[in-house]
Amino acid sequence: MFKLTDKTTIITGGGSGIGKAMSVLFAKQGAEVHIIELNNDAADETVKEIKTNGGKAFSYPCDVSNQQQVVSIFEKIGRIDILINNAGIAHIGRADNTAEEDFDRIYNVNVKGVYNCLFAAIPLMKAGKGGVILNTASIAASVGITDRFAYSTSKGAIRAMTLSVARDFLHEGIRCNSISPARVHTPFVDGFIAKNYPGKEAEMFEKLSKTQPIGRMAQPEEVAALALYLCSDEAGFITGCDYPIDGGFITLNN
């Protein structure tokens, strides 16, 4: 089950964190993984790890907010069976203290970046008679998160785009779903804590972990496992859905 043998898979932001876990797992399941990543060194390290374990992987330095770059790379890859729109950036702030340049930066990566990849991939999927698209949203698209105005806005857009694409290409063999993680223990989290709470890293890690009712953060590999299922043939009857992976955050945090 859940084999992806020879399925051409594009994963944006596939060099670290959740994206890296997806890249490694999908390659292990037989996919040919193409990593689209702004941090080329991180992408190359992930590719090296995959190849060392006998998998197929390639990396491409790319700013997903640049449509010309995205289209050029996608056309070079050619056939696309699976697209995972995972690249994204975070921001802390409310509606009254988020600077315009910060709002634009979040929009350009988290929203326009996904649009650019959809714009480039869908014609190739249509030519190939189908495909699977998975977008990384967030629990911030479903519940109010303190000081996350621009980020929440962008992730709400991801859920809306997921529904739109699922509807528009339903009869062209293209499925589109999204996943909504809560806090996931990635290098980004460790870096955020170290930067903002020097000397209190362990205390803050424990505090952030406990905000999930289950009592801990998710591991990137757990999110990757959900992505694998949704992109596999076994999930062929699923489209237009969002899947929280949140340790009970949405439904039990009251």
**Alpha helices for the chain (secondary structure H):** 17-28, 40-52, 67-77, 100-106, 113-127, 149-168, 187-196, 201-210, 220-231, 249-252
* Predicted confidence band of residue 254 (pLDDT cuts 50, 70, 90): low
In angstroms, the CA 34 to CA 73 distance is 10
Question: How is the chain split into domains, by residue range?
Answer: 8-182+219-245, 186-217
- CATH fold for domain 8-182+219-245: Rossmann fold (3.40.50)
Q: What is the pTM of this model?
A: 0.95
* Predicted confidence band of residue 68 (pLDDT cuts 50, 70, 90): very high
In angstroms, the CA 160 to CA 24 distance is 28
* Predicted confidence band of residue 195 (pLDDT cuts 50, 70, 90): confident
Q: Looking at residue 196, what is its pLDDT?
A: 81
- In the predicted model, is pLDDT for residue 253 greater than 90? no
Q: Looking at residue 192, what is its pLDDT?
A: 81
* Predicted confidence band of residue 40 (pLDDT cuts 50, 70, 90): very high
Six token digits for residue 148: 């996350």
What is the SS3 assignment for 33? strand
State the CB neighbour count (10 A cutoff) for residue 185: 17
Question: Which positions are catalytic?
Answer: 151
